[in-house]
Amino acid sequence: MPHQAVPSVLQKIVDTKRQELVRAKQQQSWHDLEQIAATNRDDIRDFAGSLRKAGIRVIAEVKKASPSKGIIAPNFDAVATAVGYEQAGAACLSVLTDTDYFQGSDAYLLQVRQAVSLPVLRKDFMIEPYHILQSRALGADCILLIMACLSDAQVAELHELALKLGMSVLIECHDEIEVERALRLPAHRQNVYGVNNRNLHNFDVSLDTTLRLKTLFPQDSLLVTESGIHSAEDVKLMLGHDIHAFLIGEQFMKTGDAGSALAKLLAQSQQSA
């Protein structure tokens, strides 16, 4: 664990992950995962590369529920949502696989990855190398590393393994200390740095977090602003600060037609952007 106080929700989720790992390892050994990942080896999509392309790049999130909002999408359909996002112009997808807190599922990741041609992030709380290999075996093109729930040694180990498996890595930060720690990881073109605008201690969301922390990253860093993007004004604010990549879930999912909501946001954001 890192030296700072870990937000209680995160601590709870990480404790659950430890229990899940015990069961998962009984069902599928490291060797099993290695074999599946080996058959998937050539089937990997360039997540970071897609975000580097010109224009507004949205990682559209397939998200049924969350600890802060409860159920967001009562008529949730992971595959229909993903296909809608792809048709609407998403750059990449994010699929929540955590069951207890987000009502996600590994099955959604497998199904979505097959139904679209976009690169897909496995959005979960990764704490052990097993999670990284498991993600690749499920078809993930990118994994998430949350600095707030990992020590420097853990993050270095998970980062190295993800890159070895050919995946991109979304390295998520919430404050200055986490950015400083994240930037000590080896530089790599598959590194994507996320600034999460959601304070995990109280769930408050402030886009100022991204604007404040952005100045700490080297200029050529691939930066994604995460959480709390609700409008074209929010997108334009970020574009004005040279941030072109966005991770957005709730705003789309709560409408019941996530793809159309993404198309609308892109169209409105491109007006005089």
Ligand X SMILES: O=C(O)c1ccccc1NCC(=O)[C@H](O)[C@H](O)COP(=O)(O)O
* Residues near ligand X (CB under 6 A): 9, 61, 63, 66-68, 196, 198, 200, 226-229, 247-251
CB of 68 to ligand X, least distance (A): 3
Please tell me whether residue 85 adopts helix, strand or coil conformation. Answer: helix
Q: Is 258 exposed, middle or buried (0-12, 13-18, 19+ CB in 10 A)?
A: buried
CA dist 136 and 158 (Å) reads 12
CA dist 121 and 171 (Å) reads 12
Q: Please give the structure tokens belonging to residue 134.
A: 């498991």
Q: Write phi, then psi, for 142 (nearest 5 degrees).
A: -150, 145
Q: Write phi, then psi, for 114 (nearest 5 degrees).
A: -75, -25
For ligand X, the closer of residues 162 and 224 by Cβ is 224
Placement of tokens 């792809």 in the chain? 86
CB of 40 to ligand X, least distance (A): 25
For ligand X, the closer of residues 119 and 249 by Cβ is 249
CB of 69 to ligand X, least distance (A): 6
The residues, ordered by sequence, that sit 6+ positions from 14 with a Cβ below 8 Å of its Cβ are 6, 125, 127, 149
CB of 93 to ligand X, least distance (A): 12
For ligand X, the closer of residues 33 and 178 by Cβ is 178
CA dist 249 and 260 (Å) reads 13
For ligand X, the closer of residues 28 and 199 by Cβ is 199
Please tell me whether residue 75 adopts helix, strand or coil conformation. Answer: coil
CB of 41 to ligand X, least distance (A): 29
CB of 78 to ligand X, least distance (A): 14
Q: Is 160 exposed, middle or buried (0-12, 13-18, 19+ CB in 10 A)?
A: middle
For ligand X, the closer of residues 36 and 239 by Cβ is 239
For ligand X, the closer of residues 36 and 237 by Cβ is 237
